Structure 1
Amino acid sequence: MAIILTFLGKGGTGRTTVAIAAAKRLASEGKRVLLAGQDTSPAFGLLLGASVGPDPQEIAANLKAVQLETAVLLERSWEQLKKLEAQYVRTPFFKEVYGQELGVLPGMDEALALNAIREYDASGEYDAIVYDGSSDRATLRMLGMPEILTWYWRRFRGVFSGSELGKALSPFVQPVTSAVFNVGWTTEEIGGQPARDANDLLERGQAAVADPNRVLAYLVTSAEESAIASSRYLWGSAQTVGLTVGGVILNRSSSVAALGDRFDPLTVTPFPTRQGNDWEPLIDALPNFAQGSRAPRPVEIDVASGQVRLFLPSFDKKQVKLTQYGPEVTIEAGDQRRNVFLPPQLKGKPVKGAKFQNGYLIVSF
């Protein structure tokens, strides 16, 4: 399994430059690195100084690069879908539809990019994958996707099977699905083995995003107030989706004092301006990514004290909405939403109170 590293910051702060320098740094340490960029314009290749396409290409020792082209990823994923259809459906109906004919729907870019990163990770060919997304909110939506889809599957499956409609349809689901698919399903097991496999995949992805030794982000900012404000907002949003932020990279400035205490307790690392094709000063200036996992974790559950602690920097109490539905607590901060599944010891207990303290939202049961 590879460590997946990404960078968040306002457009124009040099995220792509930092990502390339990070990939070069990790490769120089002997790690097998894949640099995955979602910018399909020529700018990515020009900055990298190499021709990059939809398949990983070696551009230096231990370093490969790939441009995640959505149309190409869609074609390949469609062929995989048709193979699954042929395996489970008695009379396949997608066989006459080809990936080259399909248009790209909104939001599909992130889903296809996430699946591509998952496949590169599962290949075992890389020790590190550096992901340079097209935008920060899109990156957060992408990494939050396993959490969101797992919630939808868990909740709506239970709601449907327990509803009057589900109970009324129950006698007919098995014979109808047996006529269409190679296996019969019930209302309690809608989707059968393919659904179980997909849910297992989502749960593994959810666990990976929540593990700072597997997925880690760094903020990139300049000394401009708008860039600092954007980075602080992205910091809190990343924590909301369960993504650990390991530190801050201050680009084009050496005055760390200019940031004050606005990113405490994260370490701020000054990053010089690139001069021509000389990457060495940039590579040398980068932080030790292995220490990023020491940053505050997004969620901590203390069963003994009956508390759930969420680290939500940059947000105040007025910007956070807290709701409880059965065994889950839902936290909305900014435009992100996080569902915290409570352990058995706290299930069924109502929320007694919530408060902000030193950047933490502390929920007591």
Structure 2
Amino acid sequence: MRPRSKAKSTTEPGDRGAARFEFVGGKGGVGKTTCAAALAVAAARSGRRTLIISTDPAPSLGDALGRRLGPAPRSVAVRRGALHAVEIDSTRALDRWIGERREALERIALRGTWLDSEDVARLLRLSLPGIDEIAALFEIARWGRSPRFDRIVVDTAPTGHTLRMLAMPAALSAMARVFDHMQAKHRAMVAALRGGWTPDAEDALIEELDRDGRELAALLRDPARVRMSWVTIAEPMAVEETADAARALAGLDIPVARVIVNRLTPPPPARCGWCDARRTFERAAMRRLAALLPGAATITVAERDREPRGVTALAAIGAALSGASRPSRIAGPAGRGSRTWRSASTGRDAIAAGLAGPETRLLLFGGKGGVGKTTCAAAAAILVARRSPARRVLAISTDPAHSLGDALAVALSDRPRHVPGTPLNLRARELDAARAFRQVRNRYAGAIDALFDRIGRGASLDLTHDRQVMQDLIELAPPGIDELAAIIAALPRAHAASADDLVVMDTAPTGHALRLLEMPEIVQDWVKALMSILLKYQPIAGIGAFGEVLLKLSQDLGRLRALLADPQRAAFIVVTRPAALPRAETTRLLGRLRSMHIHVPAVIVNATGRGTCRRCRRAGAAERREIAALKAGLAKGAARPLLATAPAEIPPPGGASSLTRWARTWRRGT
């Protein structure tokens, strides 16, 4: 049976009236960068002046296009048509955005708080939540206003952080309200002295922030200007995340125009256990996708014999996405066919249980999206708990798009729970960053109220504006503080003197995991800035509960920083796959971790091994070349992590018994 593409109900990239912007989202590792690049190549070849933008903090767009990219558009040769590509540098975009508004922002803060100019500059440098995501949206909108381009394709970060970016226009309007509260104090003082108030440049900036938030929200919700394509693969975790994302986007009034099911296994040239099992597995996932998203417009793309890199390979995928070629067949294998397949383990010595030493308190798993870091983290946690029954092991996920529960085959929440079939000393938890930050915010708000109640007791001062501004400062906390607050709450014992606790952490994909690792220092500086504000109130109110809240947060951050910097107590396991794009990102990740002085004892190459048909043999040879290249790269560094391999399985391991058996097959690379 040949599936019908339902995508014809949507406007294709080559049609007249197609949306000016095409956002391409999806779970990490499903090939969204490849699909976005392919769409851009197809649009350029159809005669549209096209720009493709990557918003991922760990971009691989340049790897896919075979072109070195930067924060300014660079031309990509496409034989016919005009294509440019850019990888947004959110730090540079943020610096430019703040730089253009710094004087007005500082004047607002100076007028509305008891800060001096040095305190204000410090607070602005560290604060403004989500402003890097907002800066990315501003860059997208800025290029959209340029007459240079007819079509803009946006390659986004993995699911959780893309959803956060698309929700940022509301945060920008909220930020405008905070600055408006600061400006209100100045307006009231001037009106009292002059008998009235005339809006000034600072009021204009506040209005600009609010207007920009509303205009960005309107842009993202306008189907005549923006189309959202969501990329997935026919695997249970990816399908479930796709359905969750579609519901979340619907809540933002951003409909998913079509779902692209990428890398479907074509019929093998000869009988092949891997291909047969994979096609049976994919057929079940497609049925699940149809059940979760009934009526959704879908189009399928076949897996290529070689990893698609460069314009020529991308053009073929772009043709499939634009309807120029027929969608792939997804019927299962003829006859009874294989339902399961396992690659043989190769190499020396099982390694999973030895990843955490007796002094290890924090074991992080990270890497490019889709490489299997969640599955590896879950399997390692189970094996370590079995090997060390006296240790209390907690497996946690910090990824906003959680899949730890899917890997363990159990429903998880922010409350730690035992996983059936695992040792009693193991619990698992999916962190609710918003809940953790609400708790911090509530403690902060209570402490501020207590502070101003003491100041106002018996005094004739009107501190209404001061109280409101101090309450608002928590809303200007640095981006990522919500995730950091959740991690601190989950590590009450991991950085204490106790010798029997271990936290195994499944992190978000590369770029956001790195930002999380940088956050403790940034947030600690922000806390110090708040302490300097508090000291200005101390002569009339003392430090009180507000000081205690800030002091505890600073101490927690200091302990977390010390933990991350201690190679005896913290380790980062890098997970990758034997393919060119994951290997390139792994090399960059290892360099960043080295510069941050974070210990990396091992690199796990996940899902190695293929079947016996001609196509699988070619794929297997390509895998071995990638592993050899990675091994050669690791050998050049002063610190040489252990290279290990984890065999491929169809279906992928899931649930306690399957993960335990699979983890025991991990081997040192030969």
Does 1:71 pair with 2:91?
Answer: yes
What letter is aligned with 2:316?
P
Deviation at 1:184, TM superposition (A): 4.1
Answer whether contact 1:7 1:132 (CA < 8 A) is retained: yes
Shift of 1:153: 5.2
- The whole-number CA distance in structure 1 between the counterparts of 2:230 and 2:244 is 10
Deviates more, 1:277-286 or 1:17-26: 277-286
Separation in structure 1 between the aligned mates of residue 92 and residue 201 of structure 2, nearest angstrom: 31
The answer on whether the counterparts of 1:2 and 1:129 sit within 8 Å (CA) in structure 2 is no
CA distance in 2, matches of 1:199, 1:138: 22
Alignment of 1:329-344 (within 5 A): none
Q: Structure 1 97/23 Cα, relative in aligned 2: closer, same or farther at 3 Å?
A: same
Alignment RMSD (CA, Å): 4.2
Q: Aligned to 1:261, what secondary structure does the other structure show?
A: helix
Give, in angstroms, the shift of residue 80 of structure 1.
Answer: 1.1
Instruction: Pick one of 274, 295, 300 that aligns with 1:270.
Output: 300
Work out whether residues 144 and 242 of structure 1, in 8 Å CA contact, stay in contact via their aligned partners in 2.
Answer: no
Q: Contact 1:6/1:217 (CA < 8 Å) preserved in 2?
A: yes
Unaligned ranges ≥5, structure 2: 1-17, 266-281, 324-431, 435-670
Q: Structure 1 residue 51 and structure 2 residue 68: aligned?
A: yes
Q: Distance in 2 between matches of 1:156 and 1:107?
A: 16
Contact kept, 8 Å, 2:176 with 2:207, in 1: the verdict is: no
2:253 to 226, 238, 242: 242
In structure 1, runs of 5+ residues without a counterpart are 289-333, 337-365
Change (3 A) 1:147 1:215: farther
State the Cα distance separating 1:126 from its structure 2 match: 1.7
Could you tell me which residue of structure 2 aligns to residue 217 of structure 1? 228
The count of residues paired between Structure 1 and Structure 2 equals 274
- Corresponding letter in the other structure for 2:248: S
Give deviations 1:4-45, integer Å, cap 9, x for gaps.
Answer: 211222211111111111111111121121111134557431
User: Displacement of 1:201 after TM fit?
Assistant: 2.1
CA distance in 2, matches of 1:130, 1:174: 49
* 1:155, distance to aligned residue in structure 2 (A): 11
Assess if the C-alpha contact under 8 Å between 2:107 and 2:202 holds in 1: no
* Cα gap change, 1:268 to 1:89, in 2 (>3 Å): closer
The SS at the match of 2:100 is helix
* Runs of 4+ residues deviating >4 angstroms: 83-94, 101-106, 151-157, 168-171, 175-178, 254-257
| Conservation of the 8 A alpha-carbon contact between 1:272 and 1:281 | no
Of 239-248 and 106-115, deviating more is 106-115
Matched-pair contact (CA < 8 Å) for 1:2–1:127: no
Give the corresponding residue for 2:318: 283
CA contact (8 A) 2:22 2:227 kept: yes
The structure whose Rg is larger is 2
Quick check: 1:116 aligned with 2:144?
no
Task: State the alpha-carbon separation in 2 of the partners of residues 190 and 208 from structure 1.
Answer: 26
Cα distance in 2 between the residues matched to 1:113 and 1:32: 21
Q: What is residue 324 of structure 1 aligned with on the other side?
A: none
Contact 1:3 1:215 in 2 (8 A): yes
Deviation, structure 1 residue 152: 6.9
Any residues of structure 2 matched to 1:83-232 within 5 Å, and which? 107-150=130-173, 171-174=188-191, 184-185=198-199, 191-232=202-243
- Asked whether the equivalents of residues 150 and 199 of structure 1 are also in contact (C-alpha less than 8 Å), the reply is yes
Structure 1 position 193, deviation (Å): 2.1
Change (3 A) 1:130 1:176: farther
- CA distance 1:84–1:28, change in 2 (3 Å): farther
Quote the Cα distance in structure 1 between the aligned partners of 2:59 and 2:175. Answer: 38
Opposite residue 199 of structure 1, the aligned amino acid is D
Cα displacement string for residues 271-327 of structure 1 (whole angstroms, at most 9, x for unaligned residues): 122434422331111146xxxxxxxxxxxxxxxxxxxxxxxxxxxxxxxxxxxxxxx
Change beyond 3 A, Cα 1:176–1:109: farther
TM-score, normalization by structure 1: 0.63
- C-alpha distance 170-109 of structure 1, shift in aligned 2 (>3 A): closer
Shift of residue 244, structure 1, vs aligned partner: 1.8
Distance 1:202 1:52 in 2: 29
Structure having the larger proportion of residues in helix = 2
Higher strand share: 1
Q: Which residue matches 1:233?
A: 244
Decide whether aligned partners of structure 1 residues 82 and 175 sit closer, same or farther in structure 2, where only a CA change above 3 A counts: farther
TM-score (norm 2): 0.36
